[in-house]
Structure 1
Amino acid sequence: MTPSTDNPEEESVGHSVHDSAQAGVPATRAQAPRVPAQPGPAEAGPGRSSAAPWACGEHTHSEQPLPQARPVQRASVRGQILDALRAALVTGELEPGEVYSAPALGERFGVSATPVREAMQRLALEGAVEVVPNRGFRVVERDARELAELAEVRALIEVPVLLRLARTVPSERWAELWPLAEETVRAASSGRRAAYAESDRAFHRAILSLSGNEQLVQIAEDLHRRTQGPLAGGPARTRRAELLADAAQHTALLEALIAQDLDTVTILTTAHFTAATV
Protein backbone atom coordinates (compact mmCIF):
# COMPACT_ATOMS: atom_id res chain seq x y z
CA MET A 1 0.00 0.00 0.00
CA THR A 2 1.41 3.37 -0.99
CA PRO A 3 1.36 5.84 1.89
CA SER A 4 -1.29 8.54 1.54
CA THR A 5 -0.42 12.22 1.13
CA ASP A 6 -0.58 14.69 4.01
CA ASN A 7 -3.51 16.42 2.33
CA PRO A 8 -6.33 13.93 1.71
CA GLU A 9 -7.95 16.24 -0.83
CA GLU A 10 -4.92 15.88 -3.13
CA GLU A 11 -5.14 12.10 -3.36
CA SER A 12 -6.42 10.63 -6.61
CA VAL A 13 -6.84 7.33 -8.37
CA GLY A 14 -3.36 6.18 -9.35
CA HIS A 15 -4.16 3.77 -12.19
CA SER A 16 -7.17 3.28 -14.42
CA VAL A 17 -8.59 -0.03 -15.53
CA HIS A 18 -7.01 0.70 -18.93
CA ASP A 19 -3.53 0.86 -17.37
CA SER A 20 -3.95 -2.52 -15.73
CA ALA A 21 -5.23 -4.07 -18.92
CA GLN A 22 -2.06 -3.13 -20.80
CA ALA A 23 -0.07 -5.12 -18.27
CA GLY A 24 -2.37 -8.11 -18.77
CA VAL A 25 -3.19 -8.46 -15.09
CA PRO A 26 -5.47 -6.57 -12.70
CA ALA A 27 -3.89 -3.67 -10.85
CA THR A 28 -3.03 -4.36 -7.21
CA ARG A 29 -3.20 -2.15 -4.17
CA ALA A 30 0.55 -1.65 -4.38
CA GLN A 31 0.24 -0.17 -7.88
CA ALA A 32 -2.20 2.61 -7.05
CA PRO A 33 -2.45 5.10 -4.17
CA ARG A 34 -5.22 4.42 -1.76
CA VAL A 35 -8.07 6.88 -1.57
CA PRO A 36 -9.99 7.18 1.71
CA ALA A 37 -13.02 4.93 1.46
CA GLN A 38 -16.37 6.65 1.07
CA PRO A 39 -19.58 5.74 2.93
CA GLY A 40 -21.96 3.63 0.87
CA PRO A 41 -25.75 3.73 0.71
CA ALA A 42 -26.00 1.51 3.77
CA GLU A 43 -24.29 4.20 5.87
CA ALA A 44 -26.40 7.10 4.63
CA GLY A 45 -27.07 9.86 7.12
CA PRO A 46 -29.61 12.69 7.20
CA GLY A 47 -30.37 13.99 3.74
CA ARG A 48 -28.48 11.14 2.04
CA SER A 49 -29.84 8.32 -0.07
CA SER A 50 -30.52 5.02 1.67
CA ALA A 51 -30.99 2.79 -1.35
CA ALA A 52 -31.57 -0.88 -0.63
CA PRO A 53 -28.73 -3.33 -1.45
CA TRP A 54 -30.60 -4.74 -4.47
CA ALA A 55 -30.68 -1.24 -5.99
CA CYS A 56 -26.87 -1.17 -5.94
CA GLY A 57 -26.55 -4.46 -7.76
CA GLU A 58 -24.82 -6.36 -4.95
CA HIS A 59 -24.77 -7.12 -1.21
CA THR A 60 -23.52 -4.31 1.02
CA HIS A 61 -24.05 -5.81 4.49
CA SER A 62 -20.32 -6.60 4.92
CA GLU A 63 -19.16 -3.00 4.45
CA GLN A 64 -18.17 -1.33 7.72
CA PRO A 65 -19.50 2.14 8.67
CA LEU A 66 -16.93 4.84 7.91
CA PRO A 67 -16.66 8.55 8.80
CA GLN A 68 -18.35 11.11 6.56
CA ALA A 69 -15.99 12.11 3.73
CA ARG A 70 -15.58 15.62 2.39
CA PRO A 71 -18.00 16.10 -0.55
CA VAL A 72 -15.41 17.72 -2.84
CA GLN A 73 -13.02 14.81 -2.52
CA ARG A 74 -15.84 12.30 -3.00
CA ALA A 75 -16.94 13.93 -6.23
CA SER A 76 -13.35 14.10 -7.48
CA VAL A 77 -12.71 10.40 -6.91
CA ARG A 78 -16.03 9.38 -8.42
CA GLY A 79 -15.37 11.56 -11.46
CA GLN A 80 -11.93 10.02 -12.03
CA ILE A 81 -13.34 6.52 -11.80
CA LEU A 82 -16.27 7.38 -14.08
CA ASP A 83 -13.84 8.63 -16.74
CA ALA A 84 -11.70 5.50 -16.40
CA LEU A 85 -14.71 3.19 -16.61
CA ARG A 86 -15.99 4.98 -19.71
CA ALA A 87 -12.60 4.53 -21.35
CA ALA A 88 -12.60 0.84 -20.41
CA LEU A 89 -16.05 0.43 -21.95
CA VAL A 90 -14.98 2.10 -25.20
CA THR A 91 -11.87 -0.05 -25.58
CA GLY A 92 -13.72 -3.25 -24.68
CA GLU A 93 -11.60 -3.86 -21.59
CA LEU A 94 -14.90 -4.19 -19.73
CA GLU A 95 -16.37 -6.85 -21.99
CA PRO A 96 -19.95 -6.78 -23.28
CA GLY A 97 -22.12 -9.30 -21.42
CA GLU A 98 -19.71 -9.67 -18.48
CA VAL A 99 -20.73 -8.85 -14.90
CA TYR A 100 -18.41 -6.77 -12.71
CA SER A 101 -18.87 -6.06 -9.01
CA ALA A 102 -18.04 -2.72 -7.44
CA PRO A 103 -15.80 -4.29 -4.72
CA ALA A 104 -13.72 -6.14 -7.34
CA LEU A 105 -13.28 -3.02 -9.46
CA GLY A 106 -12.53 -1.04 -6.30
CA GLU A 107 -9.64 -3.41 -5.60
CA ARG A 108 -8.24 -2.75 -9.07
CA PHE A 109 -8.51 1.02 -8.56
CA GLY A 110 -7.23 0.96 -4.99
CA VAL A 111 -10.39 2.63 -3.66
CA SER A 112 -13.49 1.57 -1.79
CA ALA A 113 -16.47 0.08 -3.59
CA THR A 114 -18.65 3.14 -3.01
CA PRO A 115 -17.30 5.57 -5.65
CA VAL A 116 -17.10 2.70 -8.14
CA ARG A 117 -20.71 1.76 -7.41
CA GLU A 118 -21.82 5.37 -7.81
CA ALA A 119 -19.99 5.66 -11.14
CA MET A 120 -21.54 2.39 -12.33
CA GLN A 121 -25.00 3.62 -11.39
CA ARG A 122 -24.38 6.70 -13.53
CA LEU A 123 -23.36 4.43 -16.41
CA ALA A 124 -26.55 2.45 -15.87
CA LEU A 125 -28.56 5.64 -16.36
CA GLU A 126 -26.63 6.21 -19.59
CA GLY A 127 -27.50 2.71 -20.80
CA ALA A 128 -23.91 1.43 -20.79
CA VAL A 129 -24.41 -1.15 -18.02
CA GLU A 130 -27.35 -2.74 -16.26
CA VAL A 131 -27.81 -3.71 -12.62
CA VAL A 132 -27.64 -7.41 -11.79
CA PRO A 133 -29.16 -7.82 -8.30
CA ASN A 134 -26.75 -9.23 -5.71
CA ARG A 135 -23.93 -9.56 -8.26
CA GLY A 136 -22.92 -6.22 -9.75
CA PHE A 137 -23.26 -4.61 -13.16
CA ARG A 138 -23.43 -6.24 -16.57
CA VAL A 139 -21.92 -4.43 -19.56
CA VAL A 140 -24.67 -3.94 -22.14
CA GLU A 141 -24.24 -5.94 -25.35
CA ARG A 142 -24.91 -4.04 -28.57
CA ASP A 143 -25.03 -5.76 -31.94
CA ALA A 144 -24.46 -4.22 -35.37
CA ARG A 145 -28.18 -3.65 -35.89
CA GLU A 146 -28.56 -1.67 -32.66
CA LEU A 147 -25.54 0.49 -33.44
CA ALA A 148 -26.93 1.17 -36.93
CA GLU A 149 -30.27 2.19 -35.40
CA LEU A 150 -28.53 4.55 -32.99
CA ALA A 151 -26.54 6.08 -35.86
CA GLU A 152 -29.79 6.60 -37.78
CA VAL A 153 -31.39 8.39 -34.83
CA ARG A 154 -28.32 10.61 -34.47
CA ALA A 155 -28.54 11.53 -38.14
CA LEU A 156 -32.25 12.34 -37.87
CA ILE A 157 -31.53 14.70 -34.98
CA GLU A 158 -28.22 16.27 -35.95
CA VAL A 159 -28.27 16.62 -39.76
CA PRO A 160 -31.25 19.05 -39.93
CA VAL A 161 -29.72 21.14 -37.15
CA LEU A 162 -26.35 21.17 -38.87
CA LEU A 163 -27.87 22.30 -42.16
CA ARG A 164 -29.72 25.10 -40.40
CA LEU A 165 -26.52 26.20 -38.69
CA ALA A 166 -24.63 26.02 -41.98
CA ARG A 167 -26.98 28.69 -43.37
CA THR A 168 -26.81 31.02 -40.36
CA VAL A 169 -23.48 30.68 -38.54
CA PRO A 170 -20.72 32.96 -39.92
CA SER A 171 -17.53 31.40 -41.27
CA GLU A 172 -15.37 32.84 -38.48
CA ARG A 173 -17.39 30.95 -35.86
CA TRP A 174 -16.84 27.68 -37.71
CA ALA A 175 -13.12 28.47 -38.01
CA GLU A 176 -12.93 28.59 -34.20
CA LEU A 177 -13.60 24.83 -34.17
CA TRP A 178 -10.41 23.96 -36.09
CA PRO A 179 -8.46 23.04 -32.90
CA LEU A 180 -11.13 20.47 -32.00
CA ALA A 181 -11.12 18.96 -35.49
CA GLU A 182 -7.32 18.79 -35.45
CA GLU A 183 -7.42 17.14 -32.02
CA THR A 184 -9.53 14.31 -33.44
CA VAL A 185 -6.84 13.76 -36.10
CA ARG A 186 -4.09 13.65 -33.45
CA ALA A 187 -6.10 11.23 -31.31
CA ALA A 188 -6.78 9.02 -34.33
CA SER A 189 -3.07 9.03 -35.22
CA SER A 190 -2.25 7.76 -31.74
CA GLY A 191 -4.50 4.75 -32.31
CA ARG A 192 -5.96 5.12 -28.81
CA ARG A 193 -9.66 4.45 -29.19
CA ALA A 194 -10.70 6.00 -25.85
CA ALA A 195 -8.83 9.23 -26.60
CA TYR A 196 -10.40 9.40 -30.04
CA ALA A 197 -13.90 8.77 -28.66
CA GLU A 198 -13.51 11.68 -26.25
CA SER A 199 -12.22 14.09 -28.92
CA ASP A 200 -14.95 12.95 -31.33
CA ARG A 201 -17.68 13.79 -28.79
CA ALA A 202 -16.06 17.15 -28.05
CA PHE A 203 -16.10 18.10 -31.75
CA HIS A 204 -19.74 17.16 -32.28
CA ARG A 205 -20.77 18.78 -28.98
CA ALA A 206 -19.11 22.06 -30.01
CA ILE A 207 -20.96 22.08 -33.34
CA LEU A 208 -24.36 21.44 -31.78
CA SER A 209 -23.69 23.98 -29.01
CA LEU A 210 -23.90 26.69 -31.67
CA SER A 211 -27.63 25.96 -31.81
CA GLY A 212 -28.03 27.31 -28.28
CA ASN A 213 -30.22 24.30 -27.42
CA GLU A 214 -28.72 22.58 -24.37
CA GLN A 215 -31.36 19.83 -24.35
CA LEU A 216 -30.44 18.94 -27.92
CA VAL A 217 -26.75 18.84 -27.01
CA GLN A 218 -27.36 16.50 -24.06
CA ILE A 219 -29.61 14.12 -25.99
CA ALA A 220 -27.22 13.96 -28.93
CA GLU A 221 -24.24 13.29 -26.67
CA ASP A 222 -26.09 10.51 -24.87
CA LEU A 223 -26.84 8.85 -28.22
CA HIS A 224 -23.23 9.37 -29.27
CA ARG A 225 -21.90 7.63 -26.15
CA ARG A 226 -24.19 4.66 -26.78
CA THR A 227 -22.63 4.15 -30.21
CA GLN A 228 -19.06 4.11 -28.90
CA GLY A 229 -18.94 0.73 -27.17
CA PRO A 230 -17.53 -2.36 -28.89
CA LEU A 231 -19.80 -4.84 -30.63
CA ALA A 232 -20.86 -7.91 -28.69
CA GLY A 233 -18.51 -10.70 -29.74
CA GLY A 234 -16.67 -8.31 -32.06
CA PRO A 235 -13.16 -6.85 -32.00
CA ALA A 236 -12.41 -4.72 -28.97
CA ARG A 237 -10.33 -2.18 -30.89
CA THR A 238 -10.96 -0.13 -33.98
CA ARG A 239 -8.05 -0.06 -36.44
CA ARG A 240 -6.01 3.13 -36.63
CA ALA A 241 -6.84 3.54 -40.32
CA GLU A 242 -10.57 3.59 -39.50
CA LEU A 243 -10.07 6.25 -36.84
CA LEU A 244 -8.06 8.38 -39.27
CA ALA A 245 -10.78 8.07 -41.92
CA ASP A 246 -13.41 9.14 -39.40
CA ALA A 247 -11.30 12.11 -38.26
CA ALA A 248 -10.71 13.18 -41.87
CA GLN A 249 -14.48 13.56 -42.23
CA HIS A 250 -14.41 16.10 -39.39
CA THR A 251 -11.91 18.33 -41.15
CA ALA A 252 -13.72 17.99 -44.50
CA LEU A 253 -17.03 18.84 -42.84
CA LEU A 254 -15.57 21.92 -41.19
CA GLU A 255 -14.19 23.11 -44.53
CA ALA A 256 -17.65 22.71 -46.09
CA LEU A 257 -19.29 24.59 -43.23
CA ILE A 258 -16.84 27.48 -43.54
CA ALA A 259 -17.57 27.61 -47.29
CA GLN A 260 -21.34 27.26 -46.64
CA ASP A 261 -21.41 24.40 -49.14
CA LEU A 262 -24.72 22.84 -48.11
CA ASP A 263 -24.62 20.00 -50.63
CA THR A 264 -21.23 18.82 -49.35
CA VAL A 265 -22.35 19.25 -45.75
CA THR A 266 -25.33 16.96 -46.42
CA ILE A 267 -23.20 14.30 -48.14
CA LEU A 268 -20.48 14.33 -45.47
CA THR A 269 -22.81 14.21 -42.47
CA THR A 270 -24.84 11.37 -43.95
CA ALA A 271 -21.68 9.39 -44.70
CA HIS A 272 -20.25 10.17 -41.28
CA PHE A 273 -23.22 8.81 -39.36
CA THR A 274 -23.58 5.82 -41.66
CA ALA A 275 -19.94 4.82 -41.07
CA ALA A 276 -20.16 5.39 -37.28
CA THR A 277 -16.90 3.53 -36.67
CA VAL A 278 -16.55 4.86 -33.14
Structure 2
Amino acid sequence: MGESALDASPRSSLLEELRMKIVSGQIGPGEILTVPTLAKAWGVSTTPVREILLELAGVGLLEARRNRGFQVKRPTVTDMKELFALRAQLEAYALSCIASVTPEECAALRLQARAIEEAVNRRNTLKYLETDRVYHLHLVGLARNRRLLDMIMNLRDNMRLYGIDSDAGLRRQQISVPEHYRIVDLLEANDTAQAIELMKRHILDWEPVFVDAIVDID
Protein backbone atom coordinates (compact mmCIF):
# COMPACT_ATOMS: atom_id res chain seq x y z
CA MET A 1 0.00 0.00 0.00
CA GLY A 2 3.04 2.29 0.39
CA GLU A 3 2.84 5.87 1.61
CA SER A 4 -0.93 6.12 1.32
CA ALA A 5 -1.23 3.62 4.18
CA LEU A 6 -0.61 6.53 6.56
CA ASP A 7 -3.37 8.70 5.17
CA ALA A 8 -5.86 7.73 7.89
CA SER A 9 -5.46 6.50 11.46
CA PRO A 10 -1.67 5.88 11.69
CA ARG A 11 -0.90 9.27 10.18
CA SER A 12 -3.34 10.97 12.56
CA SER A 13 -1.73 9.18 15.50
CA LEU A 14 1.73 10.37 14.53
CA LEU A 15 0.44 13.90 13.97
CA GLU A 16 -1.19 14.01 17.40
CA GLU A 17 1.86 12.46 19.07
CA LEU A 18 4.12 15.15 17.64
CA ARG A 19 1.62 17.93 18.32
CA MET A 20 1.30 16.88 21.98
CA LYS A 21 5.06 16.81 22.46
CA ILE A 22 5.37 20.31 21.01
CA VAL A 23 2.46 21.94 22.87
CA SER A 24 3.48 20.32 26.18
CA GLY A 25 7.09 21.48 25.80
CA GLN A 26 8.62 18.01 25.57
CA ILE A 27 10.01 19.24 22.27
CA GLY A 28 11.13 22.73 23.24
CA PRO A 29 11.17 26.05 21.39
CA GLY A 30 14.00 26.38 18.92
CA GLU A 31 14.44 22.65 18.39
CA ILE A 32 14.86 21.55 14.78
CA LEU A 33 12.81 18.67 13.39
CA THR A 34 13.86 17.07 10.12
CA VAL A 35 11.95 14.82 7.76
CA PRO A 36 14.64 12.11 7.49
CA THR A 37 15.17 11.90 11.26
CA LEU A 38 11.47 11.57 12.06
CA ALA A 39 10.88 9.15 9.20
CA LYS A 40 13.63 6.89 10.55
CA ALA A 41 12.38 7.16 14.14
CA TRP A 42 8.81 6.34 13.12
CA GLY A 43 9.74 3.71 10.56
CA VAL A 44 7.76 5.36 7.77
CA SER A 45 8.48 7.00 4.43
CA THR A 46 9.35 10.68 4.15
CA THR A 47 6.17 11.80 2.37
CA PRO A 48 3.71 11.53 5.30
CA VAL A 49 6.33 13.00 7.66
CA ARG A 50 6.71 16.04 5.43
CA GLU A 51 2.92 16.41 5.30
CA ILE A 52 2.69 16.28 9.10
CA LEU A 53 5.41 18.90 9.56
CA LEU A 54 3.82 21.18 6.98
CA GLU A 55 0.45 20.84 8.72
CA LEU A 56 1.96 21.81 12.08
CA ALA A 57 3.73 24.72 10.40
CA GLY A 58 0.42 25.79 8.90
CA VAL A 59 -1.16 26.18 12.35
CA GLY A 60 1.82 28.07 13.74
CA LEU A 61 3.62 25.46 15.83
CA LEU A 62 6.60 25.14 13.50
CA GLU A 63 8.55 27.36 11.11
CA ALA A 64 10.25 26.05 7.98
CA ARG A 65 13.99 26.71 7.98
CA ARG A 66 15.67 26.57 4.59
CA ASN A 67 18.04 23.61 4.29
CA ARG A 68 17.62 22.82 7.99
CA GLY A 69 14.11 21.47 8.56
CA PHE A 70 11.34 22.78 10.77
CA GLN A 71 11.95 24.76 13.94
CA VAL A 72 9.60 24.77 16.93
CA LYS A 73 8.28 28.31 17.33
CA ARG A 74 8.80 30.10 20.62
CA PRO A 75 5.46 30.99 22.25
CA THR A 76 4.82 34.45 23.65
CA VAL A 77 2.87 35.51 26.73
CA THR A 78 0.68 37.75 24.59
CA ASP A 79 -0.21 34.88 22.26
CA MET A 80 -1.06 32.67 25.23
CA LYS A 81 -3.32 35.24 26.86
CA GLU A 82 -5.15 35.89 23.61
CA LEU A 83 -5.70 32.16 23.08
CA PHE A 84 -7.05 31.73 26.60
CA ALA A 85 -9.46 34.66 26.25
CA LEU A 86 -10.81 33.35 22.96
CA ARG A 87 -11.10 29.76 24.07
CA ALA A 88 -12.89 30.61 27.33
CA GLN A 89 -15.46 32.73 25.52
CA LEU A 90 -16.03 30.25 22.70
CA GLU A 91 -16.40 27.20 24.95
CA ALA A 92 -18.79 29.14 27.19
CA TYR A 93 -20.80 30.09 24.11
CA ALA A 94 -20.82 26.46 22.98
CA LEU A 95 -22.41 25.44 26.28
CA SER A 96 -25.06 28.12 25.82
CA CYS A 97 -25.96 26.51 22.49
CA ILE A 98 -26.62 23.07 23.97
CA ALA A 99 -30.37 22.59 23.93
CA SER A 100 -30.36 19.48 26.11
CA VAL A 101 -28.30 16.44 26.98
CA THR A 102 -29.54 12.89 26.98
CA PRO A 103 -28.80 10.38 29.75
CA GLU A 104 -26.62 8.49 27.27
CA GLU A 105 -24.57 11.61 26.49
CA CYS A 106 -24.13 12.34 30.20
CA ALA A 107 -23.02 8.77 30.83
CA ALA A 108 -20.46 9.00 28.02
CA LEU A 109 -19.10 12.29 29.34
CA ARG A 110 -18.78 10.85 32.84
CA LEU A 111 -16.82 7.91 31.46
CA GLN A 112 -14.50 10.37 29.76
CA ALA A 113 -14.19 12.34 33.01
CA ARG A 114 -13.27 9.08 34.72
CA ALA A 115 -10.54 8.48 32.13
CA ILE A 116 -9.15 11.93 32.92
CA GLU A 117 -9.20 11.13 36.63
CA GLU A 118 -7.31 7.88 36.06
CA ALA A 119 -4.66 9.70 34.02
CA VAL A 120 -4.21 12.25 36.81
CA ASN A 121 -3.96 9.52 39.45
CA ARG A 122 -1.24 7.84 37.40
CA ARG A 123 0.52 11.18 36.83
CA ASN A 124 0.47 10.45 33.11
CA THR A 125 0.48 13.94 31.61
CA LEU A 126 0.24 12.91 27.97
CA LYS A 127 -2.70 10.64 28.78
CA TYR A 128 -4.29 13.52 30.67
CA LEU A 129 -4.00 15.73 27.60
CA GLU A 130 -5.41 13.00 25.37
CA THR A 131 -8.41 12.19 27.59
CA ASP A 132 -9.11 15.84 28.36
CA ARG A 133 -9.19 16.58 24.64
CA VAL A 134 -11.70 13.78 24.03
CA TYR A 135 -13.93 15.10 26.82
CA HIS A 136 -13.95 18.68 25.51
CA LEU A 137 -14.40 17.52 21.92
CA HIS A 138 -17.51 15.57 22.95
CA LEU A 139 -18.83 18.36 25.17
CA VAL A 140 -18.43 21.15 22.62
CA GLY A 141 -19.82 18.84 19.93
CA LEU A 142 -23.15 18.84 21.76
CA ALA A 143 -23.66 22.40 20.49
CA ARG A 144 -24.12 20.86 17.02
CA ASN A 145 -22.07 23.58 15.35
CA ARG A 146 -19.22 22.20 13.27
CA ARG A 147 -17.52 25.53 12.59
CA LEU A 148 -17.58 26.43 16.27
CA LEU A 149 -16.20 23.01 17.18
CA ASP A 150 -13.37 23.34 14.66
CA MET A 151 -12.46 26.81 15.92
CA ILE A 152 -12.36 25.72 19.56
CA MET A 153 -10.37 22.56 18.95
CA ASN A 154 -7.90 24.44 16.75
CA LEU A 155 -7.32 26.94 19.56
CA ARG A 156 -6.97 24.14 22.07
CA ASP A 157 -4.67 21.97 19.98
CA ASN A 158 -2.23 24.80 19.35
CA MET A 159 -1.95 26.28 22.84
CA ARG A 160 1.43 25.88 24.48
CA LEU A 161 0.90 23.86 27.64
CA TYR A 162 4.31 24.44 29.15
CA GLY A 163 4.29 23.78 32.87
CA ILE A 164 1.50 21.21 32.72
CA ASP A 165 3.71 18.68 34.51
CA SER A 166 5.19 21.23 36.94
CA ASP A 167 4.09 21.20 40.59
CA ALA A 168 1.52 23.91 39.80
CA GLY A 169 0.40 22.05 36.70
CA LEU A 170 -0.05 18.76 38.56
CA ARG A 171 -2.08 20.53 41.26
CA ARG A 172 -4.27 22.12 38.60
CA GLN A 173 -4.80 18.73 36.98
CA GLN A 174 -6.06 17.37 40.31
CA ILE A 175 -8.39 20.33 40.81
CA SER A 176 -9.76 19.91 37.30
CA VAL A 177 -10.94 16.34 37.95
CA PRO A 178 -14.13 17.17 39.89
CA GLU A 179 -14.80 20.12 37.57
CA HIS A 180 -15.27 17.75 34.63
CA TYR A 181 -17.92 15.81 36.53
CA ARG A 182 -19.57 18.98 37.84
CA ILE A 183 -20.03 20.48 34.36
CA VAL A 184 -21.92 17.35 33.30
CA ASP A 185 -24.06 17.48 36.45
CA LEU A 186 -25.00 21.10 35.77
CA LEU A 187 -25.92 20.47 32.15
CA GLU A 188 -27.98 17.45 33.16
CA ALA A 189 -29.83 19.67 35.64
CA ASN A 190 -30.40 22.30 32.92
CA ASP A 191 -28.34 24.81 34.93
CA THR A 192 -26.58 26.23 31.88
CA ALA A 193 -25.62 29.51 33.55
CA GLN A 194 -23.63 27.77 36.28
CA ALA A 195 -22.10 25.38 33.74
CA ILE A 196 -20.90 28.36 31.69
CA GLU A 197 -19.32 30.08 34.70
CA LEU A 198 -17.58 26.87 35.74
CA MET A 199 -16.30 26.30 32.20
CA LYS A 200 -14.74 29.77 32.12
CA ARG A 201 -12.97 29.15 35.43
CA HIS A 202 -12.02 25.66 34.34
CA ILE A 203 -10.15 27.11 31.37
CA LEU A 204 -8.83 30.41 32.72
CA ASP A 205 -7.41 28.93 35.94
CA TRP A 206 -4.84 27.20 33.74
CA GLU A 207 -3.59 30.49 32.29
CA PRO A 208 -1.13 31.48 35.05
CA VAL A 209 0.39 28.00 35.06
CA PHE A 210 1.27 28.17 31.38
CA VAL A 211 2.17 31.87 31.32
CA ASP A 212 4.62 31.48 34.23
CA ALA A 213 6.26 28.53 32.48
CA ILE A 214 6.67 30.51 29.27
CA VAL A 215 8.23 33.42 31.18
CA ASP A 216 10.67 31.02 32.82
CA ILE A 217 12.02 29.76 29.48
CA ASP A 218 12.59 33.25 28.05
Which residue does the alignment assign to 2:184?
Answer: 254
Which residue does the alignment assign to 1:200?
Answer: 132
Deviation at 1:228? 4.4
The answer to whether the 8 A contact 1:92-1:237 is kept is no
Q: Distance in 2 between matches of 1:227 and 1:220?
A: 11
Say whether 1:267 aligns with 2:197. yes
The residue identity in structure 1 corresponding to 2:124 is R
Q: Distance in 1 between matches of 2:160 and 2:113?
A: 18
Which residue does the alignment assign to 1:101?
Answer: 34
Structure with larger Rg: 1
For residues 108-123 of structure 1, the aligned pairs below 5 Å read 108-123=41-56
- Which of 167, 174, 181 matches 1:244? 174
Structure in which a larger fraction of residues adopt helix: 2
Distance 1:74 1:206, change over 3 A: closer
Which residue does the alignment assign to 1:169?
Answer: 100
**Structure 2 segments unaligned to the other structure (5+ residues):** 211-218
Q: Distance in 2 between matches of 1:236 and 1:134?
A: 33
The answer to whether the 8 A contact 2:3-2:48 is kept is no
Say whether 1:81 aligns with 2:14. yes
What TM-score, normalized by structure 1, do the two folds share?
0.65
Which residue does the alignment assign to 1:149?
Answer: 82
Distance 1:125 1:268, change over 3 A: same
For residues 132-143 of structure 1, the aligned pairs below 5 Å read 132-143=65-76
Q: Distance in 2 between matches of 1:193 and 1:98?
A: 21
Say whether 1:92 aligns with 2:40. no
The answer to whether the 8 A contact 2:35-2:50 is kept is yes
Listed one character per residue, the Cα deviations across residues 146-180 of structure 1 (whole Å, up to 9, x for unaligned) are 22210110122121221232xx2045243442111
Number of aligned pairs?
205
For residues 116-131 of structure 1, the aligned pairs below 5 Å read 116-131=49-64
Listed one character per residue, the Cα deviations across residues 238-262 of structure 1 (whole Å, up to 9, x for unaligned) are 4433212123221121112112223
Q: Distance in 2 between matches of 1:81 and 1:102?
A: 13
Q: Distance in 1 between matches of 2:164 and 2:151?
A: 26
Which residue does the alignment assign to 2:148?
Answer: 216
Deviation at 1:70? 5.5
The answer to whether the 8 A contact 1:124-1:131 is kept is yes
What TM-score, normalized by structure 2, do the two folds share?
0.81
Q: What is the DSSP-based 3-state SS (H/G/I as helix, E as strand, rest coil) of the residue aligned with 1:138?
A: strand
Which residue does the alignment assign to 1:22?
Answer: none
Say whether 1:188 aligns with 2:120. yes
Listed one character per residue, the Cα deviations across residues 31-90 of structure 1 (whole Å, up to 9, x for unaligned) are xxxxxxxxxxxxxxxxxxxxxxxxxxxxxxxxxxxxxx2623565553342232123224
Distance 1:227 1:247, change over 3 A: farther
Q: Distance in 2 between matches of 1:148 and 1:192?
A: 26
Q: Distance in 2 between matches of 1:264 and 1:271?
A: 11
Structure showing greater relative contact order (alpha-carbon pairs closer than 8 Å, 6 or more residues apart): 2
CA RMSD of aligned residues (A): 2.4
The answer to whether the 8 A contact 2:35-2:49 is kept is yes
Q: What is the DSSP-based 3-state SS (H/G/I as helix, E as strand, rest coil) of the residue aligned with 1:177?
A: helix
Deviation at 1:112? 3.7
